[in-house]
Amino acid sequence: MLMQVHQASLRVGSRQLGRFNLQLRAGDRVAILGPSGAGKSSLLKLLAKELPASQGSVTLGGRDLQHWSAPELARRRAVLPQAHGLAFALPVELVVSLGRVAREFDPTQMALVRQALAQAHASHLWGRRFDTLSGGEQARVQLARVFAQLWDAEGGVLLVDEPLAALDPGLVLELMHAMREFAAERGHALVAVLHDMSLAMNHFERLWLLKDGQILADCEAVPAVLPLLEQLYGLRLRLLQDAEGMALLASRAGPVSARRVAEAA
């Protein structure tokens, strides 16, 4: 077991979230879904050690997260947050190399930075200033930064929070494939907070469904989960699939069938 959350809860302002009991294996791809305010980003921060558990424990590699030093953790776990603006006019290659700050000096580092940019389909941005880039270009560079961070690690954890929000559809698929390939090649677990249900169904194996600070379900990303998604969002859903099995979830407002939810559960 790569990561384990046991009876963990956390306090965010006046809210108490959890208790969470979750397991993450090397190579897992998990999407966290839930309505706005459900606590998705807070759960991700719990996994990242950005928010401490008020009760229970979170372990990585069998060791409590609280016993990992910051440099140790940076070599095993990378985080891609929602916001990725920088206050300074840094060159793109320097932004990417920030992912390597917890490692010893490496004379081949800039070659690795070039490889990370290529993995994120951002080689053409070398030499540009980060603050002059479009939102989509900045997303590519920040993805390259976390690639650089875990480039030579195995069995790590890549945590991403709405990494593809407000990007055009072509870029969304391009970067989603880049993340999947990167994680699969190294045995990293990939955990992503998402709002796009179709993206979650097509690119992730498991779903953590979160509502009101509690896990509604930890389930496989298969068509049978649709009634639980309907309960989660209060929508009626219809699944459309093409000849290759790619899924599109169409939604409309309306009462959710209690029978379907009970059957799914």
Residue ranges making up the domain that contains 237? 222-265
Same domain assignment for residues 201 and 228: no
Same domain assignment for residues 137 and 246: no
Same domain assignment for residues 251 and 133: no
| 89-93, long-range: CB < 8 A, 24+ apart | 89/129, 89/130, 89/131, 89/132, 90/129, 90/130, 90/131, 91/127, 91/128, 91/129, 91/130, 92/117, 92/122, 92/125, 92/126, 92/127, 92/128, 92/129, 92/130, 92/133, 92/141, 93/117, 93/126, 93/127
Same domain assignment for residues 146 and 243: no
Low-confidence ranges of the chain (pLDDT < 50): none
Same domain assignment for residues 205 and 226: no
| pLDDT for res 215 | 96
Same domain assignment for residues 34 and 100: yes
Same domain assignment for residues 136 and 108: yes
Cα 141–50–76 angle (5° rounding)?
60
Number of domains the chain contains: 2
| pLDDT for res 247 | 85
pLDDT tens digits for 151-167? Answer: 999 999 999 998 777 68
Same domain assignment for residues 99 and 148: yes
Same domain assignment for residues 153 and 240: no
